[in-house]
Structure 1
Amino acid sequence: MPEGDAVFRSCATLHDALAGRALTHVELRVPSAAAASQGLVGQRVVEVVPRGKHQLTRLDGGWTIHTHLRMEGTWKFVDAQGRLPGPDHEIRVLLGNDETVAVGLRLGMVDLVRTDHEDEVVGHLGPDLLGPDWDEELAVANLLREPSRTIGEALLDQRNLAGIGTIYRAESLFHQRINPRTPVAGVPDLLALVRTAQRLLAANKGPGPWVPTASGRDGRWVYGRAGKPCPRCRTRIQCEEYGPTTQERLVWWCPRCQPFG
């Protein structure tokens, strides 16, 4: 699933294509919002902003189109008279103006809510690592609400802090030499950990080339490098899948740099 930095870049691209222009074509191809689509035609897009891994397209009529990429979602863009990308049954959202049509393919969530009721869809989220509401002390306090929970699970819980996923979980824990199975209460410096996560995501929110978290060809210290030598100590990187039932995710770590216990 795209993480906060990728969602940030996606929103920036949507904003550039849509903001300040009136919508000439709208299709929200989900049962809960399809009937309201035509009522959005003529409204101007005010902005497209991220909230963690969520996307909020705000209109001047007081409505917000809420979307989430989940695992397979993506946005593509075509000229106003261009041929839509397909297949057609994968299109969830069409947002068009006189110049461009933004096509949301395989989106995991599509909702239409009043802008002043956005909390209905994103109010459960913790502070956004890349947002104006970022509050590192609140993030730490949220993590400490369940002190016996493993830090690897707690970091992926978007109610604690929003935007981090498996890439930045693995990299942040490695930088701080913390084993992912360490209980939250056993992490020596939670503030340093969340600061590291925020720094790594922020380095990659811009439009330029991806900024590696480590030197060398792989560009990452541990993520996706199971069985390869740790760039720091040459011990083989380990990988396992764990987490709450139905929410298991892969995690990578170096057993020497990140010992457990």
Structure 2
Amino acid sequence: MPEGDSVFRTAAQLHQALAGRRLTAAELRVPAHATAELTGRQVLDVTPRGKHLLTRLEGGLTLHTHLRMDGRWHIYRGGERWSGGPAHQIRAVLGTEECTAVGYRLPVVRLLRTADEDEAVGHLGPDLLGPHWQDGGPEEALRRLAGAPERPAGEALLDQRNLAGIGNVYAAELCFLAGVTPWTPFGELPAPERLVALAHRLLQVNRMRPGHITTGEPRPDRSHWVYGRAGQPCRRCGSMIRTARQGAAPRQRVAFWCPSCQRGPGPDGAEPR
């Protein structure tokens, strides 16, 4: 599932391509909205909310989409061949005179009134990349996270109801940078406010570039500390990076950690070292 910075970048690209222009072609290829008539409406803006995309249209309508694991939006100029996948995978088409945005494999395509957007995103915690993050966002995120002090840090960070935008990459990297295993109870973190501030800083610096760089090294083989590096040596101590499943199905994720640099319980519930 894309991280919040990837969704932010997708929203920025869609906004640049569509906002302020009228739709000359529009199709929602899902049963619930197959007959919706959007052609002629102006696109007002495309706004990210955590990992959700809200495309607001003239007339008080919002197209709510979510990428999850496989969904993608592609933007094509006039006459350019659509190449994001076979036609049967297309779920949404938003075209203007200048370009066409095509949504492939979108698991969520929902048309709702703009006034009812909270039905789709009202459950989310503070948005790490939202424009109002500094207006109480860190404090509210900490309040929500502290509400379940016994919950493993990795699971707590991934819960979009606590704070919106963190995916598996950042959950693993944040735990490493905090020096705790993903199974450490959140209430036992030594400085949780620093972890929240670091989450915001990492997504902020990566929001307009690919790669989710956490090490400061832009090279793909050097960009992460632990994520995706199972069986490889830790960049700090040389110990082998380990991996295990965390959480309950269907939200189970793969966790990555260094057994030497990160203190706390492991996946077997062993006592902290």
User: How does the TM-score come out when normalised to structure 2?
Assistant: 0.91
Structure 1 partner of 2:145: 143
Question: Which of 38, 45, 48 pairs up with 2:46?
Answer: 48
Taking the TM superposition and a 5 Å limit, the aligned residue runs for 1:178-257 are: 178-206=180-208, 208=209, 210=211, 212-215=213-216, 217-257=221-261
Report the alpha carbon displacement of residue 215 of structure 1 after superposing the two structures with TM: 4.9
Alignment partner, residue 111 of structure 1: 110
Shift of 1:203: 0.9
Equivalent residue number for residue 2 of structure 1: 2
Match of 1:159 in 2: 161
- Where structure 2 has 5 or more consecutive residues not aligned to the other structure, the ranges are 265-271
| RMSD, aligned CA | 1.4
Q: Find the aligned partners of 1:211 and 1:88 in 2 and give their Cα distance.
A: 30
Does structure 2 conserve the Cα–Cα contact (< 8 Å) formed by 1:80 and 1:96? no
Change (3 A) 1:224 1:257: same
Q: Which moved more, 1:64-73 or 1:82-91?
A: 82-91
Structure 1 unpaired stretches of 5+:
none
- Call closer, same or farther: CA 1:16–1:177 in 2, change over 3 Å: same
Aligned-residue offset at 1:78 = 2.1
From 170, 173, 187, give the equivalent of 2:172: 170
> What amino acid is the match of 2:29?
R
What corresponds to 2:269 in structure 1? none
Q: 1:122 to 1:215 in 2, by over 3 A?
A: closer
Sort the Cα spacing of 1:75 and 1:211 in 2 relative to 1 into closer, same or farther, 3 A: closer
Q: In the TM superposition, what is the alpha-carbon distance from 1:81 to its structure 2 partner?
A: 4.1
Would the aligned equivalents of 2:49 and 2:130 in 1 still touch at CA under 8 Å? Answer: yes
Q: How many residues align?
A: 258
How far apart, in 1, do the equivalents of 2:145 and 2:212 lie?
27
Distance 2:195 2:77 in 1: 44
* 1:3 shift after superposition: 0.6
How many percent identity over aligned positions?
A: 53
User: Residue in 2 aligned with 1:58?
Assistant: 56
